[in-house]
Structure 1
C-alpha cells in the first residue's frame, strides 16, 4: 500500500443556480489577458446541451482519454507514441477556435464618439483575436444557457443521442440542470502521459495537475488527449495553460476562487487518501460499469489506524491526516456515497465529483397533486424524471443506472427524514434502512449538503503557509497577485512532480 494525498472537489448539482459567478471570477483572476480571450478554466454548462467546446464528450471525434486494449492494458485513445509523433505538426483531433468560440467584444467607443445624426449609433461586434469586425456572433461558451437554442442545439448533445427519444424538448416537457466544470486533476491524467516535452505534471504533495511553462513547447498533445477539454493553448505565449486549482490559495489554506465565490454554496474541498499502487488496476477494469466502484475501492479511510500508519510512512504529515479525517469530500464520496465521478469511462479517474440533481422529481410529484415529500411517492417517481436516469448515468457512471438510482434514493430519503424531523414527527427508521443508512447518518448528510458552514465545506491543510507567505511577502493577503521580480505563480512548484 502506497498512500498518497489528493485535494479533491465535490459539487452539489442540486444547489447550482447557473449564475456563472464562478466562471467570471475565475476568468478575472486567471485568464483575463492576451492569448486567453477564449479560455474559461471554469465554465457552467446547461444540460442537455453541447457544452464548451462543442460536443466535447464525443470521444469518437476527439480521441481523448484512455482505452483498454484486448490484453487488458491502457493506451491513449489518441494512439501510441509513434502515431502521436506523426501528427505532431498537424493533429486532426485538435479542437479549433470555432469549436470553442471566437471571442468578441463590442465597439463601445462608437456609441460615445459617433457624430450627431438622424441614425442611432451601434456597437458592432469585433473579434478579440484578429481585431476584425464580425458579421455575426454564432457561438459562445454558454450558448446553451437555460436551454437557449433548444430544440435546435440540445438534440446535438452526445448524451442525448445515446439515451435516445426519452428526452423531449417541447417547452412544457423540457427540463434542464447546470454542470459547472473545471479540470478534473485526475489520478490517471491522459494529458500528462501525452505531453512530449514532459511539461505536464502532477504534484506529489496534493495531486494538482500543472503545466511547467518553462518546459512547454506548445505541441498541444495535452489539449487533444484531455477528454474533458480543459487544457488550452495560449496563442500569445505559445504555451499550454489549464486550471491550477488555485494552488497558491490552497497552500494558504484558502479555497479556490470558484468555490470562494460560489453563490449556491454547492462546492466542497477536502483531502482524499488513496493507494497509488491500485490506480492502474482501477483504471483498467474490463467493464466500464465497474470503473466507479473500482475508484471507490482505491480510496483509503484516514480513520483506519493501518492507513494512518502507512500514510505517515509515506511522508504525509499529521496536519494532512487530520484534514483527511475531517474531509467533507470523503464523507460525500465514501461515507454517504452520494457523489459520482464525471465520465469515469474516460479511465482518467477524475477527482472532481458531482452530487446529481434531485429537485425536479419533487416538483414533478407535487404538480400531480400528490405529496412531493412522501417517501413512497419520491422513490416511485425517480424512474419518471423528465431527464431520464439514463442521461445522468451516461454523465456520471458510464451508463450504470443502478448507481445513480441509489444516490437519488438516498437524497430522497434524506428529504423525507428531515421533513418528519422538522414537523416534530418521529422519522420512520425503515426509510433510512431502505438506503442502507441510519437516521443519524441522514441528518449528518443533511447538515453537510444543506447547512454546512464555510469551515465545514472547505477543509484544506495549510502546511505550505510559511513557504507561500515567504514567496508572496506583503501580497500574502491576495495570493493571486504578482510583483515585479518575484516568481510567476504558475511556476511556484515546477520541480515537485509525480510520475505519470
Structure 2
C-alpha cells in the first residue's frame, strides 16, 4: 500500500563521485577565493578535500563523544541535540566547552615578505619567516587544514582517525599496503539540521524554497552553539565580525540556474547538482528510527518519485513551480541516490538527514587486484575482492552507512558490474546480461548509469532551475560582480575593500570571474545585453568548430546603423536606479513562516 503524500518540498542536493576525485584541491582554492579571502576567516575552508584514512579538518571532527554534534534519540523515541537542550545551553551560553579551538583547525599565517627587501646587507640570504594572521607574531608552523594530505605522516597521524579506531583490526599504513581516497566536504544542507536547532538567536535557517541552510548575519549574536551543534563542523566563527559563517551552496549562482563555484571549477567533474522532492512530514520519523543502520533506508523513503503523477500534483499543490518539478524529473541526484542507489549519505548516524551524498570509491579494490597480478576489470575478480577486502569496505561503511557493510557492498558491486559490462561493449564483444543481473540491475540500467557517471555533459550534471520569481530572461546573468551580498567593498564573492564593515583594507581589485566576464563585457559595450540562450560555456568547449553562442550577436535595436544620438549611454542604462530584473537575494519563503527548524524537541 502506497504511503500518503504529505507536504512536498524541494531541495537542491549534490552527489560526488569519489572515484573521479584526483585530490587537486581546485574546488577548495576557488571556494576560498570566492567566499573566505578576507580577515577573520583566514582559517575557514567552506570546501576542503580530506585524505582518508585521516583526521580531517578540524582534527577528529567525527568524534562526537568529544564534540557532541548532531542529534541523539531519547528513550521515548524523540530527538534532542546531543549537546543538550535549552537548559544546558542557557547554563553554558557564555562559555561553551564543546567547541574546537583554533589549534584544532590551524593558526593561519603569512610570511614576513617585507624583511626580504628591507634586510640590511649581509653574508646570508634573508628569509621570510612565518607570522600569525591572528596575532601578527612570529610563529612555528605545526598544522594546517591539509597537513596530512596523501597520508602524509603515515600511521602517526592517520591512526588518529576516529573511524580507524572503530575498526577492530589494525589498518596498515605501510606504503605497499595502504589504501586511500579523497573526500571533498562542504556543508551538508541537511533536511534536519542540528545547527539550526542549536542556535539560541534563531539566526540560522533553512530556506523553504530550495533547502539551503544560511546564517542571518543581522540576527547572529556569536553564541557559537551552531559550531558545536553541527556534527560535520562546517559552521565557522568569524573573529573579526563576531558572527557565524558557513557554506552558502553559492546561492546567488544557484538562484539563476548556475552550479556552485566548487562544481564549476572541479577538474574531475565529479559533482552533480539537482533538485530532489521530499515529504517533509516523513523527515522527523525517518530521523528518529531506533536502529542507526536503518537511517539510510529511512532517508530514501523520505524522497519522492518525481515521475509519479500524484507526486507532481502534490508538489504543484504545495507551491512548487512546474519547472522545478520538471527539473526534479531530470535530476541526476534522484537517479544516483534513489533509482540506481549508488550514492550514500555521509554519517547518517548523526540523524541530520544530510543532502550531499557520495558514490563510494571502487579504486581501492581495483588497485588491490591489479597489484596482486589479477585482472582488475573482471567481474568475477571484482565481486570476490569486494567480499574479501574487508578493511576498505568496513571503513566505507563507517563513513556512509553507520557501520552496515551491506549497502556499501551493493554499491561497489554495481560499480564493478558497470566496469566489466562496459568493457565488453568497448572491446566490441557481446554484452553479458548475467553481469548486470548479478548486481541486481539490467543492461539498460548499467548503460544509463555509465552515461551519467562517465560521459555526462554540463547540462546533465547540473540540472538547476532558477529561483522562484527570477525572470527566465536573466538566467545565467549575475548583476555586476555576481553576488547580492557583495556591496562596494563588501564580504561577498571577492569583496575586499577597506570601507566595508567587515574589514580588510588590502585595496586589491575585484577579481574577474568566468561566469560574469561576458555579462560585464556586454553591459559595458552596448545598451542591451545578449540573451543568455546565446551564451556558451567555454569550460565545456573542446576547441573544435564554432558552436552556437560562441560569438553572441548584439540586439538588433543596438546595431551600428541605428541612430543613437539621443539615446542614453551605457552608464545611464546601467545606473543603480535602473532595474533590469529581480536581484537574487537570500530570502525566506513567507509561505512557511520564515525559516524551518530542526525536527527535535528543543532549540
Instruction: Tell me, in whole angstroms, the C-alpha distance in 1 between the residues paired with 2:246 and 2:476.
Output: 22
1:113 is displaced (CA, Å) by 2.8
2:102 corresponds to: 97
Give the superposition deviation at 1:213. Answer: 0.3
1:220–1:233 contact (8 Å) kept in structure 2 = yes
Q: What SS does the corresponding residue of 2:123 show, helix, strand or coil? A: coil
Equivalent residue, structure 2, for 1:456: 460
Alignment of 1:117-196 (within 5 A): 117-134=122-139, 136-196=140-200
Is the contact between residue 167 and residue 388 of structure 1 (CA under 8 Å) also seen in structure 2?
A: no
1:431 and 1:206 map into 2 onto residues whose CA distance is 39
Correspondence 1:35 to 2:128: no
| Residues 140-159 of structure 1: CA deviation (Å, up to 9, x unaligned) | 00011000111110000000
Check conservation: 1:50, 1:158, Cα contact below 8 A.
yes
Deviations 1:378-420 (A, max 9, x none): 0001134485211000000000100100000000000000000
Corresponding residue for 1:47? 52
1:191-240, Cα deviation, whole Å (9 max, x unpaired): 00010010000000000000000000101100000000000000000000
Q: Cα distance 1:402–1:157, how it changes in 2: closer, same or farther (>3 A)? A: same
* Aligned-partner SS, 1:273: strand
Aligned residue in 1 for 2:73 = 68
Q: Does 1:319 align with 2:312?
A: no
Q: Is the 8 A contact 2:252 2:482 kept in 1?
A: no
TM-score normalised by length of structure 1:
0.96
1:11 aligns with 2:20: no
Q: How far did 1:472 drift?
A: 12
Q: How far apart in 2 are the matches of 1:320 and 1:470?
A: 17
Query: Is the CA contact (8 Å cut-off) linking 2:258 and 2:476 kept in structure 1?
Result: no
2:559 aligns with: none
Greater CA drift, 479-488 or 111-120? 479-488
Alignment check: 8 A CA contact 1:185 1:209 kept: yes
- The 3-state SS of whatever aligns with 1:179 is strand
2:471 & 2:241 partners in 1: Cα distance? 28
Of residues 334, 338, 347, the one that matches 2:338 is 334
State yes or no: 1:475 paired with 2:479. Answer: yes
Aligned counterparts of 2:105 and 2:489: Cα–Cα separation in 1: 35
- 1:475 touches 1:481 (CA, 8 Å); kept in 2? no
Q: CA distance change for structure 1 residues 304 and 477 in 2, over 3 Å: closer, same or farther?
A: farther
Against the structure 1 CA distance between its residues 376 and 498, is the aligned structure 2 distance closer, same or farther, given a 3 Å change threshold?
same
2:596 aligned partner: 499
Instruction: Give the deviation of 1:499 after TM superposition.
Output: 2.3
Does the 8 A contact of 1:259 with 1:267 survive in 2?
Answer: yes
In 2: Cα distance, 1:361 partner to 1:213 partner:
46
1:468, CA displacement in angstroms?
10
Q: 1:244 aligns to what?
A: 248
Shift of 1:492: 2.7
Q: Deviations over 1:338-376 (max 9, x none)?
A: 000000000000000000000122222122222211111
CA contact (8 A) 1:21 1:261 kept: yes
2:410 equivalent in structure 1: 406
Q: Report matched runs for 1:188-267 at 5 Å.
A: 188-267=192-271
Contact 2:251 2:586 in 1 (8 A): no
Kept in 2, the 8 Å contact 1:29–1:480? The answer is: no
CA distance in 1, matches of 2:50, 2:367: 22
Contact 2:484 2:585 in 1 (8 A): no
Supply the distance in 1 between the matched residues of 2:345 and 2:423 (Cα, whole angstroms). 29
Contact 1:175 1:387 in 2 (8 A): no
- CA positional deviation for 1:471: 13
Q: Matched residues in 1 for 2:168 and 2:407: separation? A: 20
Gaps of 5+ in 1: none
Cα–Cα, structure 1 residues 137 and 465, in superposed 2: closer, same or farther, change >3 Å? Answer: farther
**Which protein is bigger by CA-based radius of gyration?**
2
Cα distance in 1 for residues equivalent to 2:490 and 2:41:
22
Among 359, 363, 367, the alignment partner of 2:367 is 363
**Equivalent pair of 1:251/1:465 in contact (CA under 8 Å):** no
Aligned to 2:294: 290
Give, in angstroms, the shift of residue 463 of structure 1.
3.6
Cα distance between partner residues in 2 of 1:466 and 1:74: 37
Q: Distance between the aligned counterparts of 1:419 and 1:205, measured in 2?
A: 42
Choose which of 399, 406, 417 in structure 2 pairs with 1:395. 399
Query: Do the aligned partners of 1:251 and 1:468 also contact (CA within 8 Å) in 2?
Result: no
- Would you say the 8 A contact 2:483–2:492 is kept in 1? no
1:381 and 2:385 are equivalent in the alignment: yes
1:477 CA displacement = 6.5
User: Which has the higher mean CA deviation after the structures are superposed, 116-125 or 489-498?
Assistant: 489-498
Is 1:303–2:307 an aligned residue pair?
yes
- Rounded Cα–Cα distance in structure 2 between residues aligned with 1:467 and 1:487: 26
Q: Aligned partners of 1:472 and 1:250: how far apart in 2?
A: 10
Residues 430/422 of structure 1: CA separation in 2 closer, same or farther (3 Å cut): same
- 2:440 maps to what in 1? 436
Matching of residue 273 in structure 1 with residue 277 in structure 2:
yes
Aligned residues: 499
* RMSD (Å), alpha carbons: 2.1
Distance 1:388 1:34 in 2: 40
Secondary structure, in 3 states, of the residue corresponding to 1:153?
helix
Partner of 2:431: 427
